[in-house]
Amino acid sequence: MNWTQLFSSSIGKKIVMALTGIFLVVFLVVHCYVNANVFFEHPEMNFNKAAHFMGTNFLVRLTEIGLFAGFLLHIFQGYKLELQNRSTRTSRYAVTAGNKTSKWYSRSMAILGTLILLFLIIHLAHFWVPSRITGLEEVTYDGQVYHNLYLEMQNVFAQPLSVAIYLLGCFSLSWHLLHGIQSASQTMGWTSKNYFPMIKKTGTIFSILIPFIFALMPLHFYFSWPTIKGAFTLLF
């Protein structure tokens, strides 16, 4: 058996979904960590510096290519699987068990994924496109010039519609992760009688916590909440 066979089999395709999914989860942690600067003292400077590091560091940029590839693979493979799986039952049931035997979000990964994809497009248009292509206002700290992404955040999140879209995005992400994390563990074969409850619990906490922190950001700007005293350790 070779690699093509592995990845073209039903389990192989799921492994691709799991691996890219896990990669994207790791990205979420980093993204959340960087953005959390906005909640603490000197938000503008710390956040812009961190964003600058993420935007200029060679290794990070290299990973970004991987990230885009991961996104595309996850999205295309996801849709392909969904279509394939839908084609296995052309004669549909008149009555279905619904939530009696499985969770709605576990059956709705494609829809949740689509919502996240729509959100992602808007999100990229808000921040990634100006930062990388069309340009942003600049700001200088200690004699060095930085993009003022912080200002962009303030602008975007001043609009109630944007805030609503971001909240919906976080909401979809939370449900997507709630199934996705334990599902990926199962597909990778990491689950077993003893570990499954723990994996599920960890996955649940993660799925709620990360999107929750993300969701606080637009609210933070919209309602102009005060920053938290104390330093937020930066690696950058």
1, 133, 231, 235: which one binds another protein (CB under 8 A): 1
Q: Please state, in angstroms and rounded to a whole number, the distance separating the CA atoms of residues 42 and 106.
A: 41
Q: Please state, in angstroms and rounded to a whole number, the distance separating the CA atoms of residues 132 and 64.
A: 12
Q: Which secondary structure element, helix H or strand E, spans residue 173, and what is its range?
A: helix 160-187
Q: How near is the Cβ of 108 to another protein at its closest, in Å?
A: 10
Q: How near is the Cβ of 82 to another protein at its closest, in Å?
A: 9
Residue 112's contacts (CB-CB under 8 Å, 6 or more residues apart) are 105, 172, 175, 176
Q: Is 27 in the site for another protein (CB under 8 A)?
A: no
Q: Is 76 in the site for another protein (CB under 8 A)?
A: no
Q: What is the DSSP letter of 146?
A: E
Backbone φ/ψ region at 148: left (φ over 0), alpha (ψ -120 to 50), beta: beta
Of residues 194, 191, 218, 193, the one with CA closest to residue 203: 191
Nearer to another protein, 64 or 82 (CB): 82
Nearer to another protein, 43 or 78 (CB): 78
Nearer to another protein, 57 or 96 (CB): 96
Q: Is 11 in the site for another protein (CB under 8 A)?
A: yes
**Which amino acid, one-letter code, is at 210?**
I
Q: Is 88 in the site for another protein (CB under 8 A)?
A: yes
Copy the structure tokens of residue 99: 């939530």
Looking up tokens 């994996």 gives 199
48, 172, 191, 207: which one binds another protein (CB under 8 A): 191
The stretch near another protein (CB under 8 A) out of 80-88, 117-125, 144-152, 207-215 is 80-88
Note the residues at the interface with another protein (CB under 8 A).
1-2, 5-6, 9-15, 81, 84-98, 100-103, 106-107, 109, 179, 182-183, 186-193, 196
